[in-house]
A and B are shown apart, each in its own frame.
Chain A
Amino acid sequence: MYALDKAKAMQPEEVIALIEKKGLVGRGGAAYPTGRKWRACRAAQADERFIICNADEGEPGTFKDKFIIMHNPRTMVEGMLICAYAIGAKRAFIYLRGEYGYLRERLQEHVDDVVAKSGMDVSIEIVRGAGAYVCGEKTAIVQSIMGFRGCPDDSHPTVHGLWGKPTVINNVETLTCAAQAMLYDDWNPDMRMFSLSGNITNPGVYEFPLGVKMSTVVDIARPKNRLKAMSFGCFGGIMPVDYGASITSDMICKENCQHGAYSVIFIDEKQNIVDISYSIAKFYTYESCGKCTPCREGTIRVLDFLKKIRSGKGEVKDLADLKELARHIQDTSICGLGQSAGNHILTGLEHFMPDYIEYLKKKPTKA
């Protein structure tokens, strides 16, 4: 546990300063500077602080955290202990996605072993989720751990989290990187763990540096047919695959997409984007928590629009209404789920209008 030992030899303030200097940003999708989050949590007035390791990994097409939990959990736990030392937390939780329940026992063994060997007075408890995507959201994860329905709100967990106390919520990969960033002088802050899937023959977890050439990634992924599009999970939007481009967050932003946790679902030219959107829309109707009107009622209506379009009964004005509805859900929802629920529609209409037109021209299928 060299990273933890190095941290313990420093002052907590110095640990936070080092994490900040190394430029570590969150790997859960929001890319928030980790050191800044730890600093704000430590500065908040309270008698207790908590840490939540977000292992909910609910975004479809994301499986890098599973990889870490299966193959390198001890570094992750070390990262949690470093955070605990830096912010002064005595209790930490690992919120493990319900579907990863089969990993729990082995993970608990590693956790207990690392905590015992560290000699630190910190308890790390594994809390199991129950299959709700929304519980990966930072305010919902707090509600879920406290035993309530996982409905997001407008609180800021870094300052008011579990039981009203300051709580750091960090992704599995972020905490793992924290330990590595502490230890290695030449730690590269631009490495990312990509989860690649879709119409390819080599799906899996790959570590690439940001700025990697698209052609490199595609060569390794080996699609069967020519690639048309890539979707960043369900939430990030769908954009065209430019074989000549380099993968950077600017490039993704320019296409009005969000990179999130770099889970890329590749879509080849045999697919119609409307069908892809239909699957994504269905996902959102299941996973919306139901608290706020636009997301609860809007997502199911988005699905209805797509159903209508796919059945051949769609009209041109349906596209305008669908676009307005998607934008509306984005603008007036409480949390990130609702705020991203429209991305696949908006980017689909922007970049792949021919796919929609194809369905508009179709004759209605037999009911």
Chain B
Amino acid sequence: MKIRIEPDGGKDAAPRPMEITLDGAGVQVDGSKTLLDICKEKGIKIPTLCYHASLFPESRCRICMVEMDGKLVPACSTRPRQGSVVNTSNERVKRARQLNINLMIPKPQSCSVTDDNEICGVYNEVGIEFTRFEVLKNYKPDLGSSVIRDNNKCINCGRCVKVCAEIQGVYAIDFSSRGYSEHVSPYGGKHLADVACIRCGQCILNCPVGAISERSHIEEVREALADDSKVVVAQTAPSIRAALGELFGMGAGALVTGKMVSSLRRLGFDYVFDVNLGADMTIMEEASEFLRRFERGGTFPMITTCCPAWILMMEHFFPDLFPHMSTCKSPHEMLGMLTKTYWAKKAGIKPKDIVVVSIMPCTAKKFESTRDEMASAVDYVLTTRELGRLIKMNKVDFAKLPDENFDPALGVSTGAGAVFGASGGVMEAALRTAYEFAEGKAVSRLEFDQLRGMKGIKEGSIQIKGKEVKFACASGGMNIRKLLEVKDDYQFIEMMACPGGCIGGGGQPIYQAPDTLQKRAEAIYLADRQLPLRRSHENPVVKRIYSEFLDHPGSEKAEMLLHTSYTRRDRF
């Protein structure tokens, strides 16, 4: 593990009050902070690209240059001295930033319709001046996986590398070669699809120039929509309704369920079902599975399996955990399977004429839908960003749409299904049902506050049938690793590969405001509060699916359709 010791204690350093001259004015500042933080407090904006609030500043991009005591220094990692003279916007500083931007991007890039990458703002701030540098990079894009890279756009800022290593603990990519040939690549120059990449897509969210994106399935979905012989079904994850509005100027945390459904109908989808119902099914199966282990004895802790990136991480790095894993499929796979079996029969449609499109906050689900065990229940996965693009391509004015409801056949859901989107939500939903199944009465308080909030690892405990059940949840790869070290302290664990849970998934809108995840989580919990039914087993459609089709959770049919198995994978 790379060690980076912050001199003088870093963020925890003792304050060092001093006076400096900042843009001509004498000011009192805390000299233990970097110039970037000091300027932020004083309302002075300095452009940055490689800077990341949660990571140690490597000062690679050299865009944040300011002049201190006659020398150009990077603001993100330089601390002032008593009496320093700092200038953040004189001609010398401006020209230095311009030259660096032009060196890294000799010709303006093509941009995506909906992705709000940082580079756009920085370009405008720094000012593009025509320079005479030639474009040198000529890399073949790394295609074929859920996550694809185009190194021709890369500015070598290193955020994807650091996030994959230090926040996700996956280490799938690193810098390769030296000098102007330096580029980011997986081990041995292989493709991302061929190495231990868990497809979590956090690299996509952190790339300031949009060099990394999801492998798009928009064309395939458009073809299916245009095909009159097909019945095209859209099913939406809990997290979409909490973030889709951001792509249409409605602000972070806007709950846009109704508009999301009507936009999908405008795009031509024949039916719109709710993956939150799939989540309710997952709870029925998983809570029952947990209680079976609890009563008959089994491997503890039981670990949730709705996150396909976590599954990949487990298969590559921790295959010894197989006995701990729940055998439940993820919500959208369960719902896709039920659509093509239970619903197809009821609606009188041939399964092969149904095309199921999942709208997901997740890039790993694209891989998940191709797994053999899933039997193509879900045909295509579109990320939230792709849906946004599709809506814009069809010139649908999202903000003005009326609210519509899901198709009722598979569209009724409970608050328990809704909270799946936030880290800790799966555990909360499972406990609401497992407790009631075991004790025969409702849990005293439906909201598990100890499982809410932005902490990486959360925990709590509850008494079931006289025994203590300790539970925990982790979000983000590094936190998963940390929790695994103490896993034997718990009986039930939820793992999410993306920090914050699915609301922070690799397919969600790209954001810069640091409170975005918090706001999205609040929308999720608002949805939970607003719904009339809050526990999965109360869902009338769920009850009907069991009484008419599956009989009971864990039945032979349920095992066949709604449960899965895992594969050991090598690291290379």
Check B181 for interface membership: any CB of A closer than 8 A: yes
Is the beta-carbon distance between A328 and B99 smaller than 8 angstroms?
Answer: yes
Convert A264-305 into 0s and 1s, putting 1 for each residue whose CB lies closer than 8 angstroms to a CB of B: 000000000000000000000111111111101111110010
Convert B78-114 into 0s and 1s, putting 1 for each residue whose CB lies closer than 8 angstroms to a CB of A: 1000000000000000001001100110000000000
Is the beta-carbon distance between B62 and A292 smaller than 8 angstroms?
Answer: yes
Classify the secondary structure of A's interface with B. helix
Q: What residue of chain B has the Cβ atom nearest to residue A303's Cβ?
A: B180
Is the beta-carbon distance between B62 and A332 smaller than 8 angstroms?
Answer: yes
Check A164 for interface membership: any CB of B closer than 8 A: yes
CB neighbors of A among B151-183 (8 A): 155-156, 175, 177-182
Is the beta-carbon distance between B179 and A299 smaller than 8 angstroms?
Answer: yes
Convert A113-153 into 0s and 1s, putting 1 for each residue whose CB lies closer than 8 angstroms to a CB of B: 00000000000000000001010000000000010110001
Interface residue count for B (Cβ, 8 Å)?
Answer: 33
Residues on A with C-beta less than 8 A from B63 are 293
Is the beta-carbon distance between A286 and B179 smaller than 8 angstroms?
Answer: yes
Given that A293-B62, A328-B96 are contacting pairs, would A301 and B179 also be in contact in the complex, using a CB cutoff of 8 Å?
no
Is the beta-carbon distance between B100 and A294 smaller than 8 angstroms?
Answer: yes
Given that A293-B155, A296-B182 are contacting pairs, would A149 and B103 also be in contact in the complex, using a CB cutoff of 8 Å?
no
Is the beta-carbon distance between A298 and B156 smaller than 8 angstroms?
Answer: no
Given that A149-B175, A331-B72 are contacting pairs, would A297 and B2 also be in contact in the complex, using a CB cutoff of 8 Å?
no
A325 to chain B, nearest CB (A): 7
Residues on A with C-beta less than 8 A from B393 are none
A292 to B99, CA, bound (A): 13
14 contacts between A and B (CB under 8 A): A148-B2, A154-B77, A290-B156, A290-B178, A290-B179, A293-B100, A293-B155, A294-B62, A294-B103, A297-B103, A299-B179, A299-B180, A300-B180, A332-B100
Which candidate, A101-109, A155-163, A222-230, A351-359, is the interface stretch facing chain B? Answer: A155-163
Given that A159-B7, A291-B58, A334-B59 are contacting pairs, would A285 and B103 also be in contact in the complex, using a CB cutoff of 8 Å?
no
A288 to B63, CA, bound (A): 19
Residues on B with C-beta less than 8 A from A297 are 103-104, 133, 136, 180
Check B209 for interface membership: any CB of A closer than 8 A: no
B57 to chain A, nearest CB (A): 9
Is the beta-carbon distance between B96 and A290 smaller than 8 angstroms?
Answer: no
Check A321 for interface membership: any CB of B closer than 8 A: yes
A334 to chain B, nearest CB (A): 7
Convert A6-25 into 0s and 1s, putting 1 for each residue whose CB lies closer than 8 angstroms to a CB of B: 00000000000000000000
Convert B328-362 into 0s and 1s, putting 1 for each residue whose CB lies closer than 8 angstroms to a CB of A: 00000000000000000000000000000000000
Q: What residue of chain A has the Cβ atom nearest to residue B92's Cβ?
A: A331
Residues on B with C-beta less than 8 A from A334 are 59, 62
Residues on A with C-beta less than 8 A from B103 are 293-294, 297-298, 301
Is the beta-carbon distance between B2 and A290 smaller than 8 angstroms?
Answer: no
B478 to chain A, nearest CB (A): 19
A148 to B155, CA, bound (A): 21
Q: What residue of chain A has the Cβ atom nearest to residue B96's Cβ?
A: A332
Q: What residue of chain A has the Cβ atom nearest to residue B63's Cβ?
A: A293
Check B61 for interface membership: any CB of A closer than 8 A: yes
Q: A293-B62, A334-B59, A334-B62 are in contact. List 9 more A-B contacts (CB 8 A).
A: A148-B2, A159-B7, A286-B178, A290-B177, A291-B58, A292-B60, A293-B60, A293-B100, A300-B179
Is the beta-carbon distance between B3 and A293 smaller than 8 angstroms?
Answer: no
A290 to B154, CA, bound (A): 13
Check B244 for interface membership: any CB of A closer than 8 A: no
Is the beta-carbon distance between A160 and B180 smaller than 8 angstroms?
Answer: no
Q: What residue of chain A has the Cβ atom nearest to residue B100's Cβ?
A: A293
Convert B118-158 into 0s and 1s, putting 1 for each residue whose CB lies closer than 8 angstroms to a CB of A: 00000000000000111010000000000000000001100
Convert B359-377 into 0s and 1s, putting 1 for each residue whose CB lies closer than 8 angstroms to a CB of A: 0000000000000000000
Is the beta-carbon distance between A293 and B179 smaller than 8 angstroms?
Answer: no
Residues on A with C-beta less than 8 A from B133 are 297, 301
- Most chain B CB within 10 A, of A159, A289, A297, is at A297
CB neighbors of A among B312-341 (8 A): none
* Choice from B5, B72, B156, B181 contacting A164 with Cβ under 8 Å: B5
Convert A55-83 into 0s and 1s, putting 1 for each residue whose CB lies closer than 8 angstroms to a CB of B: 00000000000000000000000000000
A163 to B180, CA, bound (A): 29
